[in-house]
Amino acid sequence: MNSSKQKPFLLLSLLALFLIGCAQQAPQVSAPVATPEPDIELIPDDSGKTAREWMQEARQQQGQSQQETLLNAITAALNEQNPRLALAISDELNRLDEVWLQATLPAWQLHALVDLRQYSPAQKLIEQTRLSALEPSTQAHYAMQASRLFRQLQQPEKAAQWLLQWDELSTKMTADAQPQWQLLWQLLNQLDESQLQTLMVNAGPRTGAWLQLASNLRPVIGQPEQVQRQLQQWQQRYGQMPALDVLPDDILQLGELTPFQPKRVAVLLPIHGNLRPHAQAIQNGMLAAVASQPEVELFFLDSQLETQQLHNELTALTIDFVLGPLQRSRVDAIRQHDDWHWPTLYLNQPSQPGSADSESPAFFFSLSMDDEASQMAAMFQRRDYQRPVLIHAQNPTAERMAQHFSRQWQGYGHDAPELYSFQARDELEAMVARLLELEQSRQRLRQISQLIPGEVESDVHSRLDIDAVYLLADPTQTRLLKPFLDVSVSQTAPSLPVYASSRSHSIQADRTDHRDLAGLTFTEMPWMLTVQQSAELRRQFDVLYPDQDEALQRLFAMGFDAVQLIPQLRQLQHIPALRHAGLTGELSVTPEGQIQRQLSWARYSQQALQAVQEP
């Protein structure tokens, strides 16, 4: 571009950018900027100049000198956590259509977009940009920003892929890279073996080494000597990789990790009062689980006892591990005890996570419906749905699930889903008509009929922009609502997939006709679907408890899983991708000790209920 023609254009643009920069310094801003993540790389800048100072300097220049100065302004703006100004400058420079700028700007543009959480344009930029086409000095930074984007979008596989690219490109191969290596290891720990193998395809030498380490260590977690041997062999094979003493702490800790192997386990349950049936169901599940572990002895104590009295009882019994209590108030009380030194798997969530004073290992297991909402949101994301609709009954559990699903969905970078709620049966038909915009279609038909003489033959058409419906209702409500949805969708429109939670499933209701529910897909714990792995236990259970309430059946499964989890808790906590195949679902443990469930999938056909793979 001719510099004499370029200068006036840039000067006008710079004046506007300068005003933007001033606005950014004002106490009030039009939209809040997200707090930067701790791993954001600052771009090296030893000049000490601010973005505004660089912009003022650029006003006295022209041509490439001016453009380079504005790049310095972008750098300073990003370091000052002013991504709006950085993005505005880069957009102006992008208009110049200079080849060298096209190879340089994407890294800074992506950085700004991720800071601003503008996910759609950030993903579009990645789709349109080839890493190899970028200026080499910017490629590592671009890869780091791409990884940040996919971490924010809760897509660990893509986040790990880009961070591995950063590792291949980065010049930081010393202990200075420890924070990035720690982050990389955390991402790899979220991937299952098939995902690790996918990343191994066409992997660079460093990428292959990291993936091999992750794969090699998993089978020996909980065996310190085997872990140390694997680390040493890895170091010998991949001499170009970090020395063992500068590897992430999470890796080194695996060499010291030993599983819980308690012999005397205390179980704290509400033995008396209104919750006694619930406690009995959990107790039955635990006794069934310990039947295959003769070395483990269970001691059942009333969780209603004062905390200090429980402490004294546990001490006298020389307890190794504690299960329970079930009530949230008792969980909170025990967590605040000054001398609660037993590792504990609580059977509920605390009121305030992370607020405990005790330093003893703590894990939290509950049949949280939030897990189901998270699983559905993740499946919708993988299916690339864009416009789901959520229908929920007006009760606390359904409303909480709806809110959780909405937060998770927005966390993936989407707009909030459409929400529809109902309270009574006679509201359903009108609600479905409103959802599918049937009245608008009827109104259009009436208008056409007035304009065109004679009879106009046309059907009412439902809207076409909905991807899927997530239904949160009990079995009775679901059997009423599903047919309304089926008959209201136009025959010429694509079928509308309808999904539900375990709240819509009832073993008792399944003994009736399935036609009203045909096509409905839902999440459910394996125990309620009688999957192959638990078929014999289920047969024995049905003989012993033929008419037990379904809620209590679920608590039996929870008690069984709680005992089975104990020897695996530490390993699962260090590698979140590891799973325990439980009766209540595929169980994993977060670094904070939260037990998370991935439930099974099932679908109604005209004749029967069928277990299915993820839709």
Give the CATH number, domain containing residue 87. 1.25.40.10
Strand partners, 419: 390
> Do 18 and 118 fall into the same domain?
yes
Mean pLDDT calculated for residue range 338-343 = 94
- What is the per-residue pLDDT for 455? 54
Are 421 and 494 contained in the same domain? yes
- Alpha-carbon span 133 to 105, nearest angstrom: 12
pLDDT tens per residue, range 63-81: 999 999 999 999 999 999 9
Q: Do 420 and 509 sit in the same domain of this protein?
A: yes
Q: Are residues 359 and 374 in the same domain?
A: no
Is 512 a residue whose pLDDT tops 70? no
End-of-domain residue from the set 235, 257, 279: 257
Find which of 167-181, 347-361, 378-392, 495-509 is predicted with most confidence, using mean pLDDT.
Answer: 378-392
pLDDT of amino acid 326: 97
When divided into structural domains, the chain yields a total of 4
Position 33 in a domain: no
Check pLDDT > 50 for residue 22. Answer: no
Predicted TM-score of the model (pTM) = 0.85
Give percent of the chain with pLDDT exceeding 70.
84
Q: How far is the CA of 334 from the CAs of 57, 81, 132, 362, 424, in angstroms? A: 63, 43, 56, 11, 41
DSSP-assigned beta bridge partners for residue 334 = none
Q: What is the pLDDT of residue 442?
A: 44
Q: Please, which residues bridge with residue 521 across strands?
A: 499, 603
pLDDT value, residue 4: 41
Among 257, 288, 304, identify where a domain stops: 257
- Is residue 141 within 8 A of residue 74, CB to CB? The reply is no
Burial category of 587 from C-beta neighbours within 10 Å (exposed 0-12, middle 13-18, buried 19 and up): buried
What mean pLDDT is reported for the chain?
Answer: 86
Contact 384, 393 (CB under 8 A): no
CB 164 within 8 A of CB 140: no
The arithmetic mean of pLDDT across residues 358-384, rounded, is: 92
Which of 20-34, 389-403, 455-469 is predicted least confidently? 20-34
**Which of 226, 257, 288 marks a domain boundary?**
257
Question: What pLDDT score does 453 carry?
Answer: 56
Q: Smallest Cα–Cα separation from 166: which of 196, 152, 187? A: 187
What local confidence, expressed as pLDDT, does residue 447 receive?
Answer: 45
Query: What per-residue confidence (pLDDT) applies to 24?
Result: 45
Give the helix ranges, DSSP H, for 493-606.
Answer: 526-529, 535-544, 550-565, 569-574
Above 50 in pLDDT, residue 441?
A: no
* The predicted structure's pLDDT at residue 21: 47
Q: DSSP of 463-520, one letter per residue?
A: -S----EEEE--HHHHHHHHHHHHHHS-TTSPP--EEE-GGG--TTGGGS--GGGTT-
203, pLDDT greater than 50: yes
Point out the least confidently predicted range of 23-32, 495-504, 540-549. 23-32
483 and 514 inside one domain:
yes
Residue 207, pLDDT above cutoff 80: yes
The H-assigned helical ranges of 393-474 are 396-411, 428-435, 438-451
Residue 378 domain-assigned? Answer: yes
Segment among 41-45, 541-545, 556-560 with least mean pLDDT: 41-45
d(CA 409, CA 92): 33
Share of the chain above pLDDT 90, in %: 67
What order do you get walking across the sheet with 521-524 strand by strand?
A: 418-422, 389-393, 469-472, 498-500, 521-524, 600-604, 609-612
159: in domain: no
Same domain for 51 and 109, yes or no, is: yes
Token pair for residue 342?
A: 């037993």
Q: Is the dihedral of CA 586, 161, 143, 243 positive or negative?
A: positive
Question: Across 2-6, 224-228, 248-252, 452-456, which has the greatest mean pLDDT?
Answer: 224-228
At 388-398, the pLDDT tens digits run: 999 999 999 99
- What is the pLDDT, as a whole number, of residue 15? 47
Looking at the structure, do residues 150 and 4 belong to the same domain, yes or no?
Answer: yes
Q: Specify whether the CB–CB gap between 430 and 488 falls below 8 A.
A: no
Residue 353: pLDDT over 90: no
359 with 379, same domain: the answer is no
pLDDT band at 440 (very low <50, low <70, confident <90, very high): very low
442 and 400 assigned to the same domain:
yes
Is the pLDDT score of 43 beyond 90?
A: no
Calpha distance 394→329 (Å, rounded): 26
Which of 93-107, 330-344, 443-457 is the least confident region?
A: 443-457
Find tokens 């140390």 and name the residue.
228
**CATH of residue 471:** 3.40.50.2300
Residue 160 lies in a domain: no
Question: Within this chain, do residues 127 and 211 fall inside the same structural domain, yes or no?
Answer: no
β-bridge mates for residue 588, sequence order: 596
Q: Is residue 170 part of a domain?
A: no
pLDDT, tens only, 131-188: 999 999 999 999 999 999 999 998 999 999 999 999 999 876 666 788 999 999 999 9
CB 317 within 8 A of CB 345: no
Q: SS3 letters for 233-295?
A: HHHHHCCCCCCHHHCCHHHHHHCCCCCCCCCEEEEEECCCCCCHHHHHHHHHHHHHHHCCCCC
The confidence score (pLDDT) of residue 547 equals 87
pLDDT at 594 over 50: yes
Q: What is the pLDDT of residue 17?
A: 52
Q: Which amino acid does the sequence have at 497?
A: P
Q: Is residue 37 part of a domain?
A: no
Q: Are residues 384 and 494 in the same domain?
A: yes
Indicate whether 34 belongs to any domain. Answer: no
Residue 263 and residue 243 share a domain: no
Give CA–CA dist 237/213, Å, rounded: 11
Helix (H, G, I), strand (E, B), or coil: what is residue 393? strand
Are the CB atoms for 150 and 158 separated by under 8 Å?
yes
Domain limits at 60? 1-25+43-154
DSSP state of 594: B
Residue 265 domain-assigned (yes or no): yes
Q: Residues 223-282: pLDDT tens digits?
A: 999 999 999 999 999 998 988 988 999 999 999 999 999 999 999 999 999 999 999 999
Given phi > 0 = left and psi -120 to 50 = alpha, else beta, which region is 263? alpha
